[in-house]
Structure 1
Amino acid sequence: MRSESASHRYGEHRIYLSLAPGIGCTRRLMADAQLLAAQGYDVGIAFNASSDYLCDFARGLRPLPLIYERQNNQRVEALDLETILRDPPQIIVLGNLAHQHGLPDQPIEPLKLVEQLRMAGVAVWSTIYAYNLTTIAPIFTRLTDITPTPIIPETALEQASELVLIDPEPIDIIRQLDEGILLAPPEAEQARSTSLRLDVLNQLRAATHALLEIRRPLSDSAERPRWLVGIGFNPSAMYLLQRAADLAYGMGALLIGVHIRPPGGGSSGYRLAAREHIDYAEELCHEVVIIEEKDVAAAMLQVAHEQHATGIFIGRPVRSRWDELRGGSLLTKLINSDRDLDIFVLADAPLR
């Protein structure tokens, strides 16, 4: 907590957070900046926005002085901080925080640059892509074999004055990519195989929602609803985890992952699949519970009561109708065993 004296105002930091580049985060940032500039605010832009993609959005913003150097035959730009602070604007549009690391001979941590500007009373607006954040970068690397740099600590989100989440549905991102709305063809083709691949977007989105849930104030966790989701070992388990995480985030609920292991631990194939899905659940869930029990319904209800859960997310039954009639599906058992629990049946994964 910072206290402000009458003689010094600590600048605000607004972060626009999106999954990856190319889905409208920078456009939203600069459109908002243009609105304030049109109202008479002094808004400076801290990067070269001469490209066709951004030049229209830069109209009305004050270009700030930059320093240029060449490194490995590429031009590197950085803020001329000393000159800017002699006549600072009210707001600086910093752009992508991962790109703000100074010059080769004068490096600066992005968050330290933000701190210097805020200490000077300047409001800072920046963008962050989720795959640059500490816990999400390894997920992106696992999916694409690309290591994002630099890594931005998640404390940036806590220290921000305001967080604007740019969060379209992954299927809508793919549709706009196919229609040529988001990126030019060469960039679109590259993005389609890496950051804007549907499975990558789905997992980044689920991990981002889980991260934001965890970063909410802990003081209200006791009052927030708690929902369970089963962690299975069948191929659709990861999709169901993603859907449950999205829905729980929308509800403002804590998501508890539950894996019920068969007595004896199961086969080696089962253990391998289950371990992968449990690892993924640990990225998305507030907590993961693992218990060994033959009766899956009884075990799930036990955890629900221990966790004071509001409800359970469950996939559609995969057993044959005959098996259900003989022994009853997990869904039927849960519905008939506890009428105080909400049961949310998740749709199957879309066909590819």
Structure 2
Amino acid sequence: MKRGKHKIFIGMAPGVGKTYRMLEEGHQLRQEGIDVVIGLLETHNRQETAQKAAGLEIVPRKQITYAGVVLTEMDTDAIIARQPQLALIDELAHTNVPGSEREKRYQDVEAILDAGIDVYSTVNIQHLESLNDLIARITGVVVRERIPDRFLEEADEVVVVDVTPETLEERLKEGRIYALDKVDQSLQHFFQRRNLIALRELALREVADNVEEEALEAEADRPNENAPYCSILERVLVCVSTYPNALQLVRRGARIAGYMRAPFYCLFVDDPDRFLTRAEGLHVETCERLCKELGGEFIRVSRSDKARAIADVARTYHITQIIIGQSQRSRWELLLRGSLTHQLLRSLKNIDIHIIATDKANEKYTSTAHW
């Protein structure tokens, strides 16, 4: 049986309108003749959400008795038996009542997708497994209900439902997210402005990362290998040499990458026609150690053509920013061989090149240093 398609509506926090947007699209598809049902809806007593669900068929929940209390959960078997074309399922990260067939709601969704039924679902960014520690540092809240990252990566479509932190605060104060008696507490804790700004950026960036990965996969399948690739995310490459200013370049590259919220890489091109001195070798190792300490990835390649090596690495890693040091060659050498900068500009398109001035007071190895 052909697996169903999965569309996820993701937001930075409760109240951004994920469920409302999902229901809205469900109504539109129903008007187009698609068989749509609500598999699970959590309104949290929000009138606008409840009103938006009116007119859509709801699959009744099943009752489960736990510790002498009757609770309800989504009836996955009933949804599969009903065989709609599309099921709308709220709160993907929900943990089911003990005794349920599956522990997590996302596992129920997998079963529904395997049955050939399309699913629209909702989730907040703080429920993503890989972000759990970061979310705890940002908000002070340890999120217990989480979904694996692969679930987002495997989705056929991910949509960010986005509002400004100011809009979300207004909704909260108006009682449109939680009861009015919980507003002040929420504003002082999870819904602090700084938290919302950080969560919003995480949500937008997570989807951007997914789009970038899909673009990379599509690029690998393209028949025209010479077609340019346009990256939507910044990636910084620092080209280090045996000159002392290489450490300065690494630090500058890390700062630029930090400003851009971008990954950064350090590249050393080793000339196979000459050996490094002991001092030069130790210097390269120091650059590598500093790069890794600053969260970068160190790349070392052996190639006599430095410009070609840098260009190849830039294409492989989809670099958008290259940082190099000021040339140490004499004017005669530049006239005879050309500058590295000009060679890179000729071979690379749509990549910014930053040239960092050399600190003359610290120059060493002038006659032997190389890229």
Q: What TM-score, normalized to structure 1?
A: 0.60
The separation in 2 between residues aligned to 1:72 and 1:284, in whole angstroms, is 48
Q: CA 1:309/1:97 → structure 2, altered by over 3 Å: closer, same or farther?
A: closer
1:23 aligns with 2:19: no
Alignment of 1:45-124 (within 5 A): 45-47=38-40, 51-53=45-47, 54-71=49-66, 76-99=71-94, 101=96, 103-124=98-119
Q: Which residue number in structure 2 is paired with residue 285 of structure 1?
A: 262
CA separation of 1:201 and 1:75: change in aligned 2, threshold 3 A: farther
Report the CA distance shift for 1:39/1:178 in structure 2 as closer, same or farther (over 3 A).
same
- The residue that corresponds to 2:197 in the other structure is 202
Indicate yes or no: 2:229 matched with 1:223: yes
Q: Please report how far the alpha carbon of residue 12 of structure 1 lies from its aligned counterpart in structure 2 after TM superposition.
A: 1.0
How large is the RMSD of aligned CA atoms in angstroms?
4.2
Q: What percent identity do the matched residue pairs reach?
A: 21
- The alpha-carbon deviation at position 63 of structure 1 amounts to 1.4
Extract structure 1 runs of 4+ deviating beyond 6 A.
288-293, 304-307
**Distance change in 2, residues 1:87/1:161 (3 Å):** same
Partner of 2:6: 13
Confirm whether residue 214 of structure 1 aligns to residue 194 of structure 2.
no
Counterpart for residue 28 of structure 2: 35
Instruction: Give unpaired runs (5+ residues) of structure 2.
Output: 221-227, 239-244, 267-285, 292-309, 324-344, 346-350, 355-371
Give 3-state SS (helix, strand or coil) of 1:82's partner: helix
Counterpart among 159, 162, 172 of residue 167 in structure 1: 162
| Deviation at residue 136 of structure 1 after TM alignment | 1.9
- Structure with the greater alpha carbon radius of gyration: 2
Q: Is the 8 A contact 2:86 2:118 kept in 1?
A: yes
Amino acid at match of 2:263: H
Relative to 1, partners in 2 of residues 1:162 and 1:56: Cα closer, same or farther, differing over 3 Å?
same
Moved more, 65-74 or 40-49: 65-74
Contact 2:12 2:126 in 1 (8 A): yes
CA distance in 2, matches of 1:187, 1:255: 43
Which residue pairs with 1:137 in the alignment?
132
- Residues 97 and 103, structure 2, Cα contact 8 Å, conserved in 1: yes
CA gap of 1:105–1:288, structure 2 versus 1, over 3 A, is: same
Q: 1:331: which partner in 2? A: none
SS in 2 for 1:135: helix
Alpha carbons of structure 1 residues 180 and 55: separation in structure 2 relative to 1, 3 Å? closer
| TM-score relative to the length of structure 2 | 0.58
